[in-house]
């Protein structure tokens, strides 16, 4: 499967390694690949599993169980021989294909400072009041918003921003 990763600003790919009907999960092995949108598995070239060495990872595969409903933006592009036959031992809430690859590449470049997602914003209730009362450009780049110190919130005005 392939999906566009905002963390990489490129397409990335993964392999479904198994399904668990009882838990309704899919084992997903991320591949060490990113590039332009692939039309088929052949567009990936020679692939290998993503090996994680960043932060607290010690040469472990990026192999995780996700809910088994594939997000609409993800595409099935074909099949490969299984690159890992062991079941995934970790679980994730929500699909975030490409984040581990982005973190690993950052680590490989020698960047050791904590990473913060530029698509996330944390603000206070007072910031929200200021944002929604003053003229400003919308922020379509923000995907995750955390609001703290808030008594009430006009979500309509906030969503317009």
pLDDT tens across 58-111, in order? 778 999 999 999 999 999 999 999 999 999 999 998 898 999 999 999 999 999
Query: In the chain, which residue ranges form alpha helices assigned H by DSSP?
Result: 99-108, 125-133, 155-160
Residue 133 CA, distance from chain mean position: 33
Confidence of residue 115 (pLDDT cuts 50, 70, 90): confident
- SS3 letters across 81-107: CCCCCCCCCEECCCCCCCHHHHHHHHH
Q: What are phi and psi of 122, to 5 degrees?
A: -120, 125
pLDDT at 104: 95
| φ/ψ of residue 157, rounded to 5 | -65, -40
- pLDDT-above-70 percentage for the chain: 100
Q: What ranges do the domains of the chain cover? A: 2-108, 120-160
Q: Which of 60, 143, 138 has the alpha carbon at shortest distance from 158? A: 138
pLDDT digits (tens, 9 = 90+) for 16-33: 999 999 999 999 999 999
Residue-level pLDDT at 125: 84
pLDDT band at 145 (very low <50, low <70, confident <90, very high): confident
pLDDT tier at 129 (50, 70, 90 boundaries)? confident
């Amino acid at each position: 499967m392939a999906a566009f990763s905002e963390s990489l600003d490129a397409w990335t790919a993964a392999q479904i390694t198994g399904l668990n009907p009882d838990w309704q999960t899919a084992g997903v092995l991320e591949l060490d690949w990113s590039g332009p949108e692939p039309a088929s598995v052949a567009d990936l070239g020679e692939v290998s599993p993503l090996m994680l060495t960043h932060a607290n990872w010690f040469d472990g595969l990026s192999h995780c169980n996700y809910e088994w409903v594939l997000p609409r933006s993800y595409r099935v592009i074909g099949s490969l021989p299984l690159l890992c036959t062991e079941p995934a031992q970790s679980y994730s809430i929500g699909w975030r294909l490409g984040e581990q690859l982005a973190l690993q590449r950052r680590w490989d470049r020698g960047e050791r400072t904590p990473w913060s997602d530029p698509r996330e914003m944390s603000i206070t209730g007072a910031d929200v009041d200021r944002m929604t009362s003053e003229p400003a450009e919308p922020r379509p780049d923000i995907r995750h918003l955390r609001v703290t110190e808030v008594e009430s919130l006009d979500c309509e005005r906030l969503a317009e921003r």
